[in-house]
Structure 1
Amino acid sequence: MIPDVLLVAMAGVLGLLVGSFSNVLIWRLPRGENIAFPPSHCPHCDHRLTPRDLVPVFSWLGLRGKCRYCRAPIKRRYPLVELLTGAGYALIALLFPPLTFGWGTLGLMVLFTLLLVSSAIDLDTYTIPDELTLPGVALGLLFALGNAPDSGLPTFAQAVQGALLGAGLLVTINNLGAWVLRRFRERQFPEFPLGYQQISLGLLAGAWLGPWWGAGVGLVSALINLLARRVIRIPELLTLGGLLVSVMLGSAGMGPGMILMVQGALAAAGAVSLVCGVYWWIHWRRHREDDTLADDENVDASAMGFGDVKLAAVIGAFLGWERLLVALVVAVFAGALLGIVQMAMKRENRVKFGPYLALGALVALVWGNEIISSYRTMLGF
């Protein structure tokens, strides 16, 4: 009992320290700054901060929320992020004891930090940096290598499935929704060499050929674009319309069956979307200083990054596809509820989907197994 209490307390202290670093990420990543250099400094007077200025929570309290050197106010968010991270890490250590779950506990702490930092940045800038989400997917898969099959955390194969289905589900909703909003007209400026067209093609191919062959078809399409040095248009009436027809045929007993077709389509789309994310992330970093970048129509669509898609992949990689679905349902309900409240108050809802998705992931982490078990019991499984 005493070792468990000590581990929880140590996890809380670790969380306070990581929370201090999280504030660095929240400030520097959206600005494209190096997260290690220069050392921590006041954003107002640029004075370098000493260790006594960086003690989590207590420095802010001791300084009464003001810089020691220029007396400029320090945002309350700094101690709040530190306290939330400390409490979150302690709760994770309590619910997923390190002596039982091993590296899986540390992985969940990493997920908590990714969710908190992503949400804070999304609230500030309405973006989620690729520097968080794309490495986050890789970390989720890496931690899954150490999860035992009976641990309640996803194995590597389940983490891969969760990441692909997470990205695929959100990007499919995005593609179909955008197609409907355009009144079924084609995209005016398809991305070169790969983008939403290849994702939609992966959807259709994945429904019939499975996730990996479907992803391969989408990526071959990108290769053809490169060889042709131009975009070879693939009509959405064929890809997205074909997907809807395919699902209807699957429900009628044709092909692999509706469930397998949907899973294959979503996973293939998720795989292509993550490849798109990596490609455009590298492209954007290489051309960040190019003054003509903002006018490049081939870069514009990719630069928007569909951060929620990649954040869903992170959640799926760390928690598996079942808990991912719980997170999505909670996120949708939380967003709808806040929207109704703000409509009643006659205020505009400016909160992006990322923070709701993060909230859903935390609910799925803590209560996901109980929710899934209750659902299965209700259905008689």
Structure 2
Amino acid sequence: METLIVALANVFVFALGASIGSFINVVVYRLPAGLSVLWPPSRCPHCLNQLKAYDNVPVLGWVWLKGRCRYCKSKISLRYPVVEATTGMIFLLVFLIFNISTLTLGYWAFCSWLLALSLIDLDTMTLPNPLTKSGLVLGLIFQIITGYSSDASWAGLARHLMMGIVGAVLGLWLFEAIALLGIFLQKEAMGAGDAKLAAMMGAWLGWKYLLLAGFIACTLGALVGIGAILLSQRKWGQKIPFGPFLASGAFITLFGGKPILTAYLQLFF
């Protein structure tokens, strides 16, 4: 009986995440275009027919329709079910690690913001202010809630809030400094949106884990960039969106930051 309950809980969490992933697809498509993310309801971008509820079931709807619009038969991008399934897996992973807790609710929101920002950056080379700013505010609220609930004291609240504020300020200053260095060298090194995303990450992770996430992001970005150049996929100096690397660094740090830092300190100190 207990096994069945656990299995049903996992299925529910995955379905919830996939549903959020469906909404992330809407945000990624509409927000850069200046459209409302709430109205009108989901519709085919080609023929503009409103989708039926059973066509809009995450992942399964795409399978039932065989990847084509029911009305005009236009192809529906494979990215839609992939984003939905990926979000479902992220939600499930967070749930399995942090169980039923405020951390789970908070990290579901954090990961959703990171995923939406990554996809928008890949599509448009921009990181919209409404998402980075709202994500930063949510991160500070998250620090307040977790700080107070950790030891039920105002001291814990203040400590966590200060950790989030310091992380946000450090993220903003650090990446703006990198951007200024690029200007000094007459080469764009970092966009303004990247600094705002780093500030958002700092609000959620705190300054120590922000530094780790930033280091991981820079390492991944360098490896991918060099690999793309060697494979003749990109030219030297060609810009690449850095938001997905920052988000990847945040994901890795969220799930494995503590053992990574522990291993680093044991190795060098």
1:338 corresponds to which letter in structure 2?
A: V
CA–CA separation in structure 2 for the residues paired with 1:321 and 1:131: 23
Whether 1:337 aligns to 2:223 is yes
Note if contact 1:30-1:129 (Cα within 8 Å) is conserved in structure 2: yes
Q: Which residue of 2 aligns with 1:20?
A: 22
Matching residue of 1:125 = 124
Select which of 349, 355, 361 maps to 2:250: 361
Partner amino acid, structure 2, of 1:144: Q
SS at match of 1:56: coil
1:5, CA displacement in angstroms? 5.1
CA offsets per residue over residues 334-379 of structure 1, 9 Å max, x none? 1111112112111216531111111111111111011111222234
Query: Does residue 310 in structure 1 map to residue 199 in structure 2?
Result: no
How big is the shift at 1:176?
2.5
- What are the ranges of 5 or more consecutive residues in structure 1 without an aligned counterpart? 183-303
Q: Taking structure 1 as reference, are residues 144 and 333 closer, same or farther at Cα in structure 2, changes over 3 Å only?
A: same
In structure 1, the residue matched to 2:171 is 166
| CA distance in 1: counterparts of 2:194 and 2:206, whole angstroms | 17
Per-residue CA deviations over 1:41-72 (Å, capped at 9, x if unaligned) read 11100111110111000010000000001101
SS at match of 2:32: helix
Task: Specify the SS of the correspondent of 1:155.
Answer: helix
Distance 1:11 1:157 in 2: 32
1:141/1:317 contact within 8 Å kept:
yes
Question: Secondary structure in 1 aligned to 2:113?
Answer: helix
Distance 1:142 1:79 in 2: 31
User: Deviation string for 1:73-127 (max 9, x for gaps)?
Assistant: 00001000000000000000111112xxx22211111111111111111111111
Structure index of larger Rg: 1
Q: Name stretches of at least 5 consecutive residues in structure 2 with no aligned partner.
A: 152-158
- Partner in structure 2 of residue 319 of structure 1: 205
> In the alignment, which residue of structure 2 is the partner of 1:374?
263
2:216 maps to a residue whose letter is V
**Would the aligned equivalents of 2:118 and 2:244 in 1 still touch at CA under 8 Å?**
yes
- Residue identity matched to 1:89: F
Mapped partners of 1:308, 1:364: distance in 2: 17
Deviations 1:112-162 (A, max 9, x none): 1111111111111111111111011001111111214869xx822211111
| Equivalence for 1:351 | 240
Give the direction of change, closer, same or farther, for the CA distance of 1:137–1:4 in structure 2 (3 Å limit): farther
Please state how far the C-alpha of 1:26 moved relative to its aligned partner.
0.6
- Deviation of 1:8 after TM superposition, in Å, equals 3.6
Q: SS in structure 2 opposite 1:147?
A: helix
Residue 10 of structure 1 is matched in structure 2 by: 12
**Contact 1:104 / 1:144 at 8 angstroms: preserved in 2?**
no
After superposition, where does 1:182-193 map in structure 2 within 5 Å?
Answer: none
Could you tell me whether the CA contact under 8 Å between 1:137 and 1:317 is conserved in 2? Answer: yes
For residue 94 of structure 1, the aligned residue among 83, 93, 96 is 96
Matched residue, 1:55: 57
**SS at 1:145 equivalent:** helix
- State how far apart, in whole Å, the 2-side matches of 1:4 and 1:110 are: 22
Q: What is the RMSD computed on CA atoms of the aligned residues?
A: 2.0
Contact 1:308 / 1:354 at 8 angstroms: preserved in 2? yes
**Deviation per residue, 1:215-262 (Å, 9 max, x gap):** xxxxxxxxxxxxxxxxxxxxxxxxxxxxxxxxxxxxxxxxxxxxxxxx
Aligned partners of 1:342 and 1:123: how far apart in 2? 15
- The one-letter amino acid of 2:205's match is L
Partners of 1:138 and 1:178 in 2: CA distance: 29
- Greater length-normalized contact order (CA 8 Å, ≥ 6 residues apart): 1
Give the residue type in structure 2 aligned to 1:371.
I
Q: Deviations over 1:284-330 (max 9, x none)?
A: xxxxxxxxxxxxxxxxxxxx971111111111111111111111111
Please report the TM-score for the alignment, with normalisation by the length of structure 1. 0.63
CA distance in 2, matches of 1:319, 1:35: 28
Give me the TM-score of the superposition, normalised by structure 2.
0.88
Aligned length: 254
Give the one of 174, 177, 184 matched to 2:182: 177
